[in-house]
Structure formats: structure tokens, C-alpha cells
Structure 1
């Protein structure tokens, strides 16, 4: 009888922990974007020479 009680309680604990792990967790809302500011890491369009090398430096060529 004691073995049956131990097995039943262990099974109930296992099922309860599995059920608790599957429950959804409420997440905080995403931060609101600031109006009028560029995203971090993005330059304004037309302000940087995209595709051009810096002045005085040519393309890097590996020499073997």
C-alpha cells in the first residue's frame, strides 16, 4: 500500500510540473519607438557614401 502511495504521489508531481511548464507566461509589451528618431545603428539615407572606399585607401587585396 505504501508503494502505491509513493508511486501515485510521484506521478502526480511529475504531471503537475509538466503542466506548469506548458502554461504560458505573460510577457511585458515591447517598448514604444521614439517618434522622429532613426533606429539605433542606422544612418540617415543619403548621408554616407555607401559602396565607396574611404579617401586615400584602395580595396584590400590579399597577396599570396
Structure 2
């Protein structure tokens, strides 16, 4: 009786450990570098707003 209890409990422990190993683990979020050179540098004078678009109509 004791041997069968030990065998069954150890089998359940091994099955439980195997199932727990298959669970997904939380992964850290990858840190992306800031984009370089993507802004329209030099397209408008500094400190001045662009001229408004005039439509006829």
C-alpha cells in the first residue's frame, strides 16, 4: 500500500512539473532605440510658422 502511494504521488509530481515547464514565461519588453534622422530637419525656418495655404473659392 505504501509503495503504491509513493509511486502514484511521485508520478503525479513528475507530471505536474512537466506541465509547469510548458507554461509560457513572461518575457521582458525589448527596448527599441529612438529613430535618428526621421524628423524633417531644416525644412522650415526656426521660430517661424509655415505660411498658410490660400485656396480660391
TM-score (norm 1): 0.53
Q: Name 2:25's counterpart in structure 1.
A: 25
Q: What is the aligned-residue RMSD (CA, Å)?
A: 1.3
Instruction: Provide the rounded CA distance (Å) in 2 between the counterparts of 1:4 and 1:27.
Output: 40
Q: Which runs of 5+ in 2 are unaligned?
A: 38-57
Structure 1, unmatched stretches of 5+, are: 38-64
The residue number in structure 2 matching 1:11 is 11
Runs of 4+ aligned structure 1 residues displaced above 4 Å come to none
Aligned length: 37
Bigger Rg over Cα: 2
Normalising to structure 2: TM-score of the pair? 0.58
2: distance between equivalents of 1:19 and 1:33?
A: 37
